[in-house]
Each structure stands twice: as C-alpha cells, then as structure tokens.
Amino acid sequence: MNIRHSLLGLFLPLSLLSCHTVEKEADGYPLSSYVNPFVGASTNTELAGASHGLGKTFPGATAPFGMVQVSPNTITGGDNGPGYSYEHTTIEGFAFTQMSGIGWYGDLGNFLVMPTIGDLHTFAGTEDKPEEGYRSRYDKSTEKASAGYYSVFLSDYKIQAEATALPHSGMLRFTFPESKEARIQVDLARRVGGTSTLQSVEVVDDHTIKGWMQCTPDGGGWGNGDGKADYTVYFYAQFSKPFSGHGVWSADIPDDWGRKREDVCSERYREAIRQAAIHPSVSAFEGKHLGFYANFETKPDEVILLKSGISYTSLKNAEENLAAEMKDFDFDRTHAECVRLWNDELAKSPSREEPTRKRGFSTRLFIIR
C-alpha cells in the first residue's frame, strides 16, 4: 500500500480541542496563543493505566495541514508512534516527519538531525546511557512549544535548539558554544519503529546536501511492517554556514538480518551501528544504514541553521519546496509566517461558543502531498 493511502487517514484526526470562534483573536489574544502542543504528548502506559499509552502526539513545529513536522524524538523502538514521550529525559534528534495520535506501532520520524560537540558517534545511544551515542540529556525547564515553534536546551552539548516549519519545509536554529569540534549530523536510516532500508546522500556544495530514504515494510514502521507502508522521503537541505569538513557513516547490515522494530533495538544491530565505517569527504554515497555529518568551528553563541525541503515524490520537488517556502535563513520571519497560518486556519472553525484560555488547542492538522 502506498504511504499516501495508508497514512492520510492517520494524520487527519483534527484534535482541535476548543476551536470555538470565527475571529482571529479571543479576549485580545491571537487564537494561536491558545495552542498547547504538549497536549497528549506522552506514550506512558503507566500514567495512562492502559497498554496503549496516552495521546501519542508530538510537541514539535508544524503548519496547518503541513507535510513537514519538525519535532524532538526521544525514542526509536517500542509502541512510540510520535517518536516522543514527555517523561523521557534525553533527545536523540529532531526529525522532519512525524505521526500523531495514532493507536498502532508508528512510522516516519525520518531525516533525524542532531547538533553535537566532540567525538563523532554513529549510534544514538540509549535513554539510560546517552553518553554512549549522539543523543543528549535536556533541561526540562527550558522545553517550550507553541504553534509553529519548539525550543529546548541540550544539556550535554550546551546547545540551544529551536524548530519551526512551513507546509513542505522545516528549519532548525542551533546556538553553539565555542568549539573546534562542533557538528550537525543527520541520521538517514532512522525511522520510528524500525529503519529505513536504503538511503542515498549527495553533497551539492559546501552548504547543501540532497538525497532520499526508502522505507519498506521489511524495515518495520507502520504496524511493525503489517501496515505495508512503502514510501520514499526525499530531502534537499542547506546549512547557513559552509561546513569545514563532512563525511558519511555506513553500517554493514548483512542481507539475512531482520530489520523490523525488535531487530533494530537488539544489541547485535546496535553494535553494528556503533562499528559503522566513517567515510570522510565523500561526494555521494548509497547504503543500508547511512548518516551524514558536517563539521564546524564555532565561536561563543554562534548560530548555525539548517533548513530542508521534503517531498514524497521526487528530489526535484523537495528542492522546489524549499525554494518556494524558505528563500533565506530568517528563522523569526519563518516562525511568524507559520503563526499567521495557524491564526488563519483556527479562525475558520464556526461556533458561537466563547473560547477559554483554560482549554487548549492541539496542533494536529496534517496532509500528505
């Protein structure tokens, strides 16, 4: 089954919990200010008192009916459809595609971006041992989310991370400490509930990369493969600063290994990723388990941004999506445009009831294009 057919129905639950106005403001406040993206953002079965967990939503940035959702991911395996759960204490990266509010084993979580400092890690690490990988602990008090915006402070790297999005593209803003070993890395194999089965990346110039991630039922994903999701995510990404060096890591995954949720979470599979070969300065690469890294030397509080267009149809469309929506690296203007889209969309819901600030919207309007 094509991903557009199998996922469209999953993204359309419009959990606009209290959208009761035709005005763009309520009590003098923009309607978007009532949005609380943390509503339902947990898969904790103990808190839920049920095996299916809580709302399974994500807190990241997205536009109304947006195809791109830039959100923190805290876990890859298990029944964690959105890739995030509020009680988790580490973040393994920020993905550009997410599911929300689903009741089965999830999918997407593709194009996982993580800013790091120090040694290059090819493995994400685990929740209980984040230091063994590229994931980071984070300061929960710094985590903020609103319509079209997410931010958090990554404690292990002393990096401030911020995310915003438009319908077919996303942008991340990282504020780095001073370092000669600053890095932005992209896990191309990563997929919620499994793995992408084949990936490709090409370096266009010293601040641009493009490529794709193929996701088949053999790699788990939707229903751990039973949902028959078969899709390819294409990306065209640019960095605001030319990288001083770059490379690809590639794990050797034998043809006879399983690659579903339970497989990629096994110690055997994790060890293969830890032992991934590093290929510095390559211009193009294709493989079964790839990641890309870009190196930088940063000054105190230096800001580096990454923006990417996404498409489910072609590399050309991914590039065109980025060019149409994000012509520059103006993060604040992009965020303001996303907020405007939310205010316009929320104002369309007809009702005579008065809204209340004690009740929140949940930003769950998605569509695949």
What fold characterizes domain 58-344?
Beta-galactosidase; Chain A, domain 5 (2.70.98)
CA–CA separation, 88 vs 104, rounded Å?
A: 20
Element containing residue 342 per DSSP (H, E): helix 331-346
Would you say residue 19 has pLDDT above 70? no
Give the model confidence (pLDDT) of 108-156 as tens digits.
999 999 999 999 999 999 988 999 999 999 999 999 999 999 999 999 9
CA–CA separation, 199 vs 213, rounded Å?
A: 4
Both tokens of residue 235? 């990306």
Give the model confidence (pLDDT) of 61-107 as tens digits.
999 999 999 999 998 766 677 888 888 899 999 999 998 888 778 89
**Most distant pair of Cα atoms in the chain: their distance:** 61
Please list, in sequence order, all residues whose beta carbon lies within 8 angstroms of the beta carbon of residue 329, skipping any fewer than 6 positions away. Answer: 171, 240, 305, 307
pLDDT number for residue 351:
53
Q: What percent of the chain has pLDDT over 90?
A: 69
> Phi-psi region for residue 125, left (φ > 0), alpha (ψ -120 to 50) or beta?
left
Element containing residue 47 per DSSP (H, E): helix 45-48
pLDDT number for residue 249:
98
- Classify strands 136-137 and 194-195 as parallel, antiparallel or unpaired: unpaired
How many angstroms separate the Cα of 235 from the Cα of each of 99, 202, 212, 239?
18, 11, 6, 13
Determine phi and psi for 218, rounding to 5 degrees. -65, -20
The domain locations on the chain are: 58-344
Would you say residue 263 has pLDDT above 50? yes
Which residue shows structure tokens 């949005």?
Answer: 35
Determine phi and psi for 48, rounding to 5 degrees. -75, -25
CA–CA separation, 129 vs 349, rounded Å?
A: 46
